[in-house]
Structure 1
């Protein structure tokens, strides 16, 4: 499949690749992950200077107005560098929800500092019982005059520990699993009644569980119409899945290339192990898995506004899970015991792939969703 980049996309790709090569070696990434908030504010400021924080934000919101393809180009390079930064949480989730759902009175106050790198955001939607369902919501928001009172708990909130503002999903009406009756609220992460417990996932990045204990929120902080937030959530999450898949593709390509280079340098019986036919077959399988994933990613990006978007997205996430697992396993096995050491970057790339598989539904979940779509058509 041919997917020619525009001039702007080629420039974006070149600038992000150059940043990774010159300013973000693996050692810097490890230092960033170890920080209290999980990333380096100086790196985030560089993202703002380069204009990356504005890419998926509309022109009306003060951004670049980039397409899914523009975001794909950037996220693939960030994946190759295993960049530890809350781009997905702050820009792709929080930022796009504000951009698409906030009234004009709120947009400017949040999007301007976000694009300037001065505001961190997070999207608190997942709950203990919800697994991968976006509509399984127990957190409640009760109307009290000109305010709402929110109570409930959110889990695995990406960038929840470092966020200045949160967008919280709460139920204003309907049953626990209804798509109707779901509302979105923007809240101050440091407000009274917000309790945060942060911890690290296997890839080293921070998430948080957030407890809302009778939190009072002004009605003006409601995004969109009351009870009609599900469609907005689904749209933004779908775009985030595309971005996350592009990151995964970058990681998979990096592992494939690193494994090829290692097998050329590693000698056994007086010859590079890359000369052994059985290992050549395995490396070809890794390469083909990357190319298949790339083709499906391109299909999903091109069909984002069509009736086939859901099918392509579920198929893509399914392939990311399966091919990512295969490539990660092969990379570790072909590197030998050193493949799982903390000193080598291979194991860290694999851990990130494993986390990506679980975000917004793992391979099994998307296989079931894909089967349901096929049965209804």
Structure 2
């Protein structure tokens, strides 16, 4: 087992760090929030990322991808977390293409993959529902068969990058007999409603009211659940990597503040009790990094059983630390930690969203135990 980045992956990591620090600083996310940009990201900046090849970074060469591996892509997501960069990389470079490659027909792949790679189109995955429970067994969205064919009914919540998407890959239940459908956003009966979330990102509620389904809209019925699980595991690992980058940035900003803030005529960083708290956080961040790297290494090595285990392990630990380090950083900053002027608040809000995206800590602890046979 090796977790060292190849030369190509190192170049991708370095270019991502340099590009995002220069072109997508935290101030840009604040501006996107204040300007209430509906799509939640800078379209010009996204096109630059497209030209750099990020949307095809992990795709196989058979689909015109760069095939640099998820260890390299993970470094990009860590950089996104550090800069708090709001971009649709997860939905467009991981979720949509991975699902199309695993379950899409040749016609679907030929139509959508080049458009995703060029930034010409965007696809969003619609899977979770109002309960807030990730992959809830009682999925209510269903396909109804009638004399006039099949129709899709239901509603999906927390659809990442849903506002402005050209199409949705929709999961219809029940979960044990799940099917996936490629539904154009402009199809009759599709209603997209942006949701106001804590981190001001692009999240939507999507309603499907008697949407007519045709055979060419169906993704593979035989491998739908397997394709979804494998794709989501890759997405979870990427979210854990983004969390790692974000939490490292929070940690480093907090330590820097503790070296400057003077109380009782001394810097608060000299207080041993606070040093102990920070030391524990540092150790937990190192453990999270090991979990994230293990998940990416398993993906690149093609060990699918380990991918599921390590992705849930990484996501569970990341979710726990998003709450713990977020809370500790606010407390260690004191009163200024809850003011909007301090960028810390933007990181804190994003951490709270990452904590729950694609399953919270409880979901993934339970999933890990189930996979281990408990």
TM-score (norm 1): 0.92
**Helix, strand or coil for the counterpart of 2:259?**
helix
Partner of 2:197: 201
Q: Which moved more, 1:266-275 or 1:36-45?
A: 266-275
Partner of 1:329: 327
Q: 1:217 aligns with which of 213, 224, 228?
A: 213
Q: What residue number does 1:31 align with? A: 31
Aligned in 2, Cα 1:309/1:2: closer, same or farther, shift over 3 Å?
closer
1:45, distance to aligned residue in structure 2 (A): 0.6
Compare 281-290 and 37-46 and name the one that shifted more: 281-290
2: CA distance between counterparts of 1:201 and 1:327? 21
* Higher mean C-alpha displacement, 94-103 vs 343-352: 94-103
1:248 is the counterpart of 2:246: no
* Equivalent residues of 1:153, 1:209 under 8 A apart: yes
Alignment partners' CA distance in 2, 1:97 and 1:372: 24
Classify the secondary structure of the residue corresponding to 1:310.
Answer: helix
Q: 2:348 aligns with which of 347, 350, 357?
A: 350
1:272 CA drift (Å): 2.2
The structure-2 alpha-carbon separation of the partners of 1:101 and 1:135, relative to structure 1 and needing over 3 Å to count, comes to: farther
> How far apart in 1 are the matches of 2:266 and 2:171?
58
Change (3 A) 1:281 1:135: same
Partner of 1:64, secondary structure, is coil
**Counterpart among 66, 77, 86 of residue 68 in structure 2:** 66
CA-atom RMSD in angstroms: 2.1
Structure 2: any 5+ residue segments left out of the alignment? none
> 5+ unaligned residues in a row in structure 1: which ranges?
none
Distance 1:212-1:255 versus aligned 2 partners, 3 A rule = same
Q: CA deviation at 1:135?
A: 5.0
What SS is found at the alignment partner of 2:111? helix
The whole-number CA distance in structure 2 between the counterparts of 1:134 and 1:170 is: 12
**Displacement of 1:248:** 0.3
CA deviation after TM superposition for structure 1 residue 241, in Å = 0.3
What pairs up with 1:1-377 in 2 under 5 angstroms? Answer: 3-33=3-33, 34-129=36-131, 131-133=133-135, 135-143=137-145, 148-171=150-173, 176-177=174-175, 179-180=176-177, 182-224=178-220, 226=221, 228-304=223-299, 305-306=302-303, 307-376=305-374
CA distance in 2, matches of 1:260, 1:58: 41
Q: Give the Cα–Cα distance (whole angstroms) in 1 for the partners of residues 282 and 198 of structure 2.
A: 26
Post-superposition offset of 1:35: 0.7
| Corresponding residue SS for 1:88 | helix
Deviation at 1:143, TM superposition (A): 4.9
> Is residue 312–residue 365 contact of structure 2 (8 Å, CA) maintained in 1?
yes
Structure 1 residue 79, shift from structure 2 partner: 0.7
Decide whether the 8 Å contact of 1:119 with 1:164 is kept in 2: yes
Deviations 1:322-348 (A, max 9, x none): 222221111111111121222211121
Instruction: From the superposition, tell whether residues 166 and 302 of structure 1 become closer, same or farther in structure 2 (CA, over 3 Å).
Output: same
- Counterpart CA distance in 1 for 2:148 and 2:91 is 29
Aligned-pair CA distance for 1:130: 6.9
Q: Is the 8 A contact 1:95 1:111 kept in 2?
A: yes
CA distance 1:150–1:201, shift in 2 (3 Å): same
Give the deviation of 1:52 after TM superposition.
Answer: 0.9
Cα distance, 1:62–1:308 mapped onto 2, change above 3 Å: closer
| Post-superposition CA distance 1:341-372 (Å, at most 9, x none) | 22211121121111111112111122222333
Structure 1 distance, partners of 2:210, 2:236, is 32
Please, what TM-score do these two structures have when normalized by structure 2?
Answer: 0.92
- Tell me if the contact between 2:2 and 2:297 (Cα under 8 Å) persists in the aligned partners: no
Shift, 1:299, TM fit: 1.8
What is the DSSP-based 3-state SS (H/G/I as helix, E as strand, rest coil) of the residue aligned with 1:308?
helix
Label 1:357 to 1:130 Cα distance change in 2 as closer, same or farther (>3 A).
closer
Partners of 1:2 and 1:215 in 2: CA distance: 48
